[in-house]
Structure 1
Amino acid sequence: MATQRPADHPTIPAPKIGVLLLNLGTPDATDYWSMRRYLSEFLSDRRVIETNPVIWQAILQGIILSTRPQKSGRNYERIWDKAENDSPLRVISRRQAQKLQTRLGERVIVDFGMRYGNPSTASRLEALEKAGCHKILLVPLYPQYSAPTTATANDKAFEALGKMRWQPAVRTMPAYFEEPIYVETLARSIADGVAALDFEPDVVLTSYHGMPKTYLMAGDPYYCQCLKTTRLVREHLGWPDEKLMVTFQSRFGPTEWLRPYTDETLMALPGQGKKKIAVVAPAFSVDCIETLEEIAITGREQFEHAGGEKFAYISCLNDSEGGMAMLEALVRKELGGWI
C-alpha cells in the first residue's frame, strides 16, 4: 500500500531542469543612489579588487563612491534603453533567456541572474528551486575564464545554494572560448559586420575587458585565453596577423593592467596611417556599458580626435540568431545525461 502524505504536506512540483544564465550586473537606474548601491557591491567583491579590504573599503566608501556614481550615471544615461526604461544588459539578457527557453522546450526552465544588482542570482536560484528544478546548470556567459567574472558568478550561486534546505544538483558551464561553434559564430559575426560597412577597415581590434597584471602573474588564465580567442578567429577568417589586433579596455586605478590598452591604441592608430577601423568585444556576450559607451561612443571620439576617419563598432552576439544557436548548442552539451 502506498504511503499517504500528511494532509498538510507541501505541494511538490513535477521535477524540472533549470538553466540559469549568469552575467555581471547593472544598476537599476542612473541616479546617484542607484549607481552607488551597484558600484559599492561590485567594487567590494574580493574577486574584483584584491587589495586589503580594510584599506580598500576606506578608499571606496570615502573617496570613490563620493564622485564615481555621478560620472558612471552620466555614462549609463548615454546608452540607457529609453523604450524599456532599463539598461541594455538587462534587456538583452532577458531576451536571451526567453529565446533559449523556446529552443529548449517545456521540460527545462531558463532564467537569468546578475552577480551584482537585479535580478539577483540568489532570487533566481530560489525561484528555480520552488518551480521544481532538482537539477540546475549554471551558465556564466563569459567566453574566457577569469576569477573576477566566471569565478565570482559561481561563488555567488554557491553562496545561495549553501542556504537551501533542499539543494538541487548543480553543474557549471566552463569557459567556451575554444569551442569550435563559438569560434565559428564569432568569426562569422565579425565577417558579416565588416561586410556591412561602407569602408574596408585597415585593422579590426578585438578589445577585451582588462585586469591588473598582478592577476595574470598570480595564475589567472584570462590573458592567455583572450590571445587564443583572437588567434583562433583570425585563423578561421584566414586574415593576416596585423589585420586582427588584441587590446584591453576598462582599466581602473593606478596599477598596471594587461596591455596593450584599447584607448591608447585607438589614439595611436591614426598616426600610424590606420585611419579606418572596426572594433569588436569578444569577452562580452551581451552589449553593455563597456561596449556601448566605452567603445562605441567614447572610443569613437578618441579615435576621431586623433585623426581617425572611419570607425565602426561590431555588436556582441547578444540574442542574434547565430548567438542563440551557439548558446543552445553549448547548453545542450552541458545538459548531457539530464535531457
Structure 2
Amino acid sequence: MKTGFTAYIRKDFALSRRNMLIWLIVLFPIITAFGASGITETYSDTPKIVVLEKEKNQFRIPDGVQVLISATQEDLIQEVNDIDAKIGFIEGKLVTDGREPAEAVEKAKRILEEKPIESDSLSSSLFEKVYAFNLYGSFLFFGIIILFSLVEERKNKTTELQNVQPVHPAVPILSKITIASFITLFDFVICGYLLKLPFVWETAGLIILIGILLGTVLGMAMAFYASTETQALAILKPVTLVFLMAIPGLGFFLEGEIMHNIAMADPFYWLLQLVYGLYMNDLNYTYVYLSLGLSAAALCMIAANWHRTPYGIKKAKTY
C-alpha cells in the first residue's frame, strides 16, 4: 500500500470531494463576490443612459458613462423599468421610472444639456474596500478546512492508524494544508476576477502565502482545544465572528485611530490590509513582516507542542 505524500493528497482530495461542508466553503466566497461585483452597477450615482439606435449620435455623453442602445421606444422603456437604475433619452427628454437616485437624475439632465458632470460622489475607495473585504473572504475558511479535516480523521478513527504509518508525522498535516491551499487559491482567483482585482502576480502570490500561513496557524491552534465536531463548532463561532470578521471589518471600514489600534492586535486585520493594498497598488511591508514573523514563531511553537493535541504522536514517558 502506498503511503507517500501523493497518496495522502489523493486520500484527502477524495474526502474533501465528498464533504458537503467543503463545497459550501468553496462556493460561499464566490457567491458573495458575485453580489459585491454588482455594487458599482447598482449604487453608483453616475447614471446609465439608454438611447434609441436612431438617436445614438445626437447626444454627447461623457467618457465613463455607460450607454445602452435600444432598437425601439418600447425596448427603451422596458430597459429603463428594469431592476437596475437606468435613465432613457428620447427626443431630448428624460425617461425614468421613479426609482433612480436624485443625484443620477440631476446628472442625466446635465448630460442632456451637454454640461459637465462630476465623477461619482461615492468614493471609488469605498468600492475598493468592499471588494477587498470580499476577496479577503477567500482566506477565511482555510483554518476551518484544516480543523474539520483533523476532526474527521479522529471521528473515523484513522488518526491512530496514521501515526503508525511509515511516513513522517508531518506528512498527513501537510497533505491537508495542500488541499486547503488549492481551495483557497481557486477561490482567490475566481473572486479576484469577479471583483476586478488588478492582478500583480508577484504581490498576489506573497499575500496568498501569508493567508495560507495565518490560516494554518489558526486551524492548528484550534486543534489543541477541539477533538470532536461539537467542540470544533463551539470554538469556530466566536473565532470566526469576532477575530476573522468583526474586528478586521470594523478596523477597516471605520478608519478611526482607536479602532485601527484595536484591530492591529488581530493578525487577520493585517491580511485584510494587504489585500486592500492590491487594489491601491500600495503594499505596506509592515504588515508583511508582522504576518511572516508571527506565522514563523507560532508554527514553531505548534510543532514543538503538537504531541499534546489529540492528533499528534504522544511522547514516550521516561522513568
User: TM-score category by the smaller chain?
Assistant: under 0.3
TM-score calculated relative to the size of structure 1? 0.26
TM-score calculated relative to the size of structure 2? 0.27
- Structure with higher helix content: 2
| Rg (Cα) greater in structure | 2
